[in-house]
Amino acid sequence: MQKWDAPVPVCLEGMPCLPPMRPPDTAIEIQSPIEGFIFYNDTPQVIRWIAVPGVTSYSVSIREANKNIWETIVHSIEILHPTDLRLKPGNSYELTVQVVGDERKTNLTFRMLSEEETQDILSQANNILINPDLSEVEKALKVASFYSENLLFKEAMEVLFNAVETHQNSAPVYRKLGDLLLNTRQPTLARTHYQQSFNLATNSEEKAYATYGLGMVSVYERNLEEATQWLSLAQSHYEQTGAQDLVEKIAELLVGIGAGEE
């Protein structure tokens, strides 16, 4: 596996952390591709993002080795990069989606794996899927975690979205989706899935995970009042599970956002 030198995702499962706050009203939530690695594919990549209210035109560009190799203006929220622009395995690419006429934009970096690396990872994932000792939900969570460890966040989410369709009452699946969506800077969808996880949670541990996630979404969106409420609730749930180390870490986060005692 090649070394990855892009920014580290904002939050790791089960580990309280403080994601960087996004500048208010500047970020565009890109849904595809996602920062990290992508599987080898010789077909054009879909570029997709969430619509910005009131915006009708976007500039989309791809850079390779600090050189602009493609740029266009679109009046939709999805486009395929041209067929004559072939992405090369092993090379890093920077995608920028920007609102035409102002400074609102988002950049992300992705890299395509080689065909050999892709097949190797798919083979390892298949070994998990054929394990007869795992339930379908456990398989989905393990494959998603395996893909995440290899920075294949899009593939990890696809596995969990499929699991949601067949196992709609799994709080861990919704929570893991929330983690991945927040890690890939998609707070709107992350909030939805953390909230669903919280609604489905049947024990304090899962409620703690979900409320912590909701708190992190609020921190990311600079809604510190709401973040304080969710993180305080998460702290309470962690206290019920006896996870004192996590209680203390959340206390540090609350201090960090100006809501706790020094």
The answer to whether residue 15 scores a pLDDT higher than 50 is no
Q: Tell me how far apart the alpha carbons of residues 220 and 20 are, in angstroms, rounded to a whole number.
A: 6
Query: What local confidence, expressed as pLDDT, does residue 26 receive?
Result: 53
Whether a cis peptide bond, with omega within 30° of 0, leads into 23 is no
The two tokens of residue 84 are 């004559």
Same domain, 139 and 252: yes
Same domain, 217 and 131: yes
**100, 73 in Cβ contact below 8 A?**
yes
**175, 206 in Cβ contact below 8 A?**
yes
The domain in which residue 202 lies consists of 115-256
Residue type, 220: Y
Give the whole-number percent of the chain exceeding pLDDT 70: 89
The answer to whether residue 170 scores a pLDDT higher than 70 is yes
- Strand duo 36-38 + 105-112: pairing: parallel
The answer to whether residue 225 scores a pLDDT higher than 70 is yes
Q: Does 19 fall in a domain?
A: no
Same domain, 167 and 124: yes
Residue where a domain stops, chosen among 82, 112, 142? 112
Per-residue pLDDT reduced to its tens digit, 132-156: 999 999 999 999 999 998 989 989 9
For residue 24, count other CB atoms closer than 10 A to its CB.
Answer: 9
Higher pLDDT, 243 or 124: 124
- 58-72, 166-180, 186-200: which has the minimum mean pLDDT? 166-180
pLDDT averaged over the chain?
85
Q: Does 3 fall in a domain?
A: no
Query: What local confidence, expressed as pLDDT, does residue 18 receive?
Result: 44
Same domain, 138 and 161: yes
Query: What local confidence, expressed as pLDDT, does residue 62 receive?
Result: 94
Give the domain CATH number at 175. 1.25.40.10
The two tokens of residue 186 are 């998609």
Give the domain CATH number at 73. 2.60.40
Question: Which residues does residue 78 pair with via DSSP β-bridges, in sequence order?
Answer: 48
Residue where a domain stops, chosen among 95, 112, 129? 112
Number of domains composing the chain: 2
Same domain, 36 and 90: yes
The set of residues, in sequence order, having a beta carbon less than 8 Å from that of 135 and lying 6+ positions away, is none
Confidence of residue 16 (pLDDT cuts 50, 70, 90): very low
Per-residue pLDDT reduced to its tens digit, 191-210: 999 999 999 999 999 999 99
Higher pLDDT, 95 or 168: 95
Same domain, 228 and 247: yes
- 18-32, 67-81, 182-196: which has the minimum mean pLDDT? 18-32
Same domain, 131 and 226: yes
